[in-house]
Amino acid sequence: MSTHIDHIVIAAPNLADLVARFEELTGVKPVEGGRHDVGTANALVPLAEPKGSYLELIGPDPEEAAVTQDNFAIASTSTQTPRVAAWCVRPDDLEAFAQDRGQETVEMSRHTPEGTTLTWRLILPEPGVDYAPVPFAIDWLGSPHPSQIMEPQLSVHSFKVQGPKIPQDLPETVEFSAGEPHLELVLQTPKGQVNLSDL
């Protein structure tokens, strides 16, 4: 079964600060994505390469009192610094992919600033970790894909995933090495190459 990178998650305790710092480093302003039902909000940045993928900048929803459940990237981790936290693949068949992993899929949604609701199914990311080397997976169920939100101005120069074992169905664009869990993303931007470890 083939898989494609759907999106890469950058998490921080303050979304507005993350968006501002990202724009300062890359020269590209993220687009407001919307609000999740779990107390988080996001901003989106489409990628030219890999085509059909995007960056998700995520943080606590400022209009909510707290993250309402154990969101993998925000509430359950020990770090309070911005980081490349996780990544998501889009398999040809999500249910078969989940069955191979012995996992279940759940349905989730996000409310856009325009007042529409996007719905998708996914395998939940691993909670309680600062860096998730094993990708979670998604099926957009016919919802408009976030990579179409604006014309892409960025590309992935390199994406390095470090973890204890090689994930199954690894996309070719990912460089994997054994070690303590860590994710490193370098982008090609209007300001040149930017390592998001500098966030």
Whether the Cβ atoms of residue 146 and residue 33 lie closer than 8 Å to each other: yes
Tell me the pLDDT of the chain (199 aa) as tens digits: 678 999 999 998 889 999 999 999 999 999 999 887 777 889 999 999 999 999 999 988 777 665 555 555 554 456 678 999 999 999 999 999 999 888 999 898 888 888 888 899 999 887 778 898 999 999 999 999 999 999 999 999 999 999 998 777 678 789 999 999 999 999 999 999 999 999 8
CATH number at 135 reads 3.10.180
Place of tokens 């990178």: 5
For residue 141, is it left (φ>0), alpha (ψ between -120 and 50) or beta?
left
State the Cα–Cα distance between residues 64 and 109, nearest whole angstrom: 16
Q: pTM of the full predicted structure?
A: 0.92
Range of the domain at 176: 3-198
Mapped onto helix, strand or coil, the DSSP state of residue 179 is coil
Name the domain count of the chain: 1
Whether the Cβ atoms of residue 118 and residue 143 lie closer than 8 Å to each other: yes
